[in-house]
């Protein structure tokens, strides 16, 4: 991948990583969240091909490493907002769902329902790839039914984001269903 970077005034352009011909145009939008937080949405777009990447950067000072835990008990909790940075692990133990951190993990900003929808899509794709006779198929169908219940607010579950780098967070609809546990940056042990 070439690192060709060209500076012009205050904005800069670089060569598209996909087609390697077009120039990437960068646009920034500031987005105000209802709770007075701000997000910076950065859009990278190629002038030639269909390359498009959106990054969302929180402009708040919540950078402490820690574990955010949200108990989803009713429909309103599904509207709690989630921001996950690539250094975070996201987990729903009741549904055996997990997203691990990694260099290619996406930033994302969504709500709890949006996360379940992403999981549902992935699990459905997995289900469709299984043979009718595969014993795992029944298990996966049960999981999908549980996910539907969870999305309708009929099944309580826990959403955990563990971020050793900091920067991820949950904006809960019901504050009493939410807690944040700090992680010791050296020990990575739970501390309250």
Residues that bind Zn ion in the complex, under the rule CB under 5 A: 16, 18-19, 22, 46, 48-49, 51
Judged by beta carbon, residue 16 or residue 39, the one nearer Zn ion is 16
CA 159 to chain CA centroid, nearest Å: 12
Measured from the CB of residue 41, what is the shortest distance to Zn ion in angstroms? 20
Measured from the CB of residue 50, what is the shortest distance to Zn ion in angstroms? 8
Measured from the CB of residue 17, what is the shortest distance to Zn ion in angstroms? 8
CA distances from 167 to 34, 87, 109, 178 (A): 19, 9, 12, 17
CA distances from 177 to 7, 93, 101, 119 (A): 47, 16, 25, 22
Distance CA 43, CA 60 (A): 19
Residue nearest to Zn ion (CB): 16
Measured from the CB of residue 42, what is the shortest distance to Zn ion in angstroms? 17
Distance CA 63, CA 172 (A): 17
Furthest CA-CA distance within the chain: 62
Judged by beta carbon, residue 48 or residue 148, the one nearer Zn ion is 48
| Token output for 63 | 């950078």
Judged by beta carbon, residue 14 or residue 180, the one nearer Zn ion is 14
| Token output for 51 | 């390359």
Measured from the CB of residue 49, what is the shortest distance to Zn ion in angstroms? 3
Judged by beta carbon, residue 22 or residue 153, the one nearer Zn ion is 22
Measured from the CB of residue 134, what is the shortest distance to Zn ion in angstroms? 40
Judged by beta carbon, residue 37 or residue 55, the one nearer Zn ion is 55
CA distances from 22 to 19, 50, 52, 54 (A): 7, 10, 12, 17
Judged by beta carbon, residue 19 or residue 40, the one nearer Zn ion is 19
């Amino acid at each position: 991948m070439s690192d060709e970077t060209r500076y012009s005034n205050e904005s800069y352009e670089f060569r598209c990583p996909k087609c390697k011909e077009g120039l990437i145009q960068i646009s920034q939008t500031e987005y105000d969240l209802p709770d007075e937080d701000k997000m910076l949405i950065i859009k990278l777009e190629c002038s030639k091909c269909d390359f498009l990447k959106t990054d969302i950067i929180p402009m708040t000072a919540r950078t402490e490493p820690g574990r955010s835990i949200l108990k989803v008990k009713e429909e309103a909790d599904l509207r709690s907002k989630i921001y996950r940075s690539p250094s975070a692990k996201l987990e729903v133990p009741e549904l055996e769902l997990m997203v691990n951190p990694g260099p290619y993990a996406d930033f994302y900003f969504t709500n709890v329902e949006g996360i379940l929808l992403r999981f549902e899509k992935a699990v459905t794709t997995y289900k469709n790839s299984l043979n009718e006779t595969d014993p795992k198929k029944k298990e996966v169908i049960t999981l999908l039914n549980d996910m539907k219940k969870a999305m309708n607010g009929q099944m309580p579950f826990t959403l955990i984001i563990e971020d050793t780098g900091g920067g991820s967070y949950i904006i809960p609809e019901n504050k009493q269903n939410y807690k944040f546990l700090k992680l010791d940056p050296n020990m990575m042990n739970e501390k309250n």
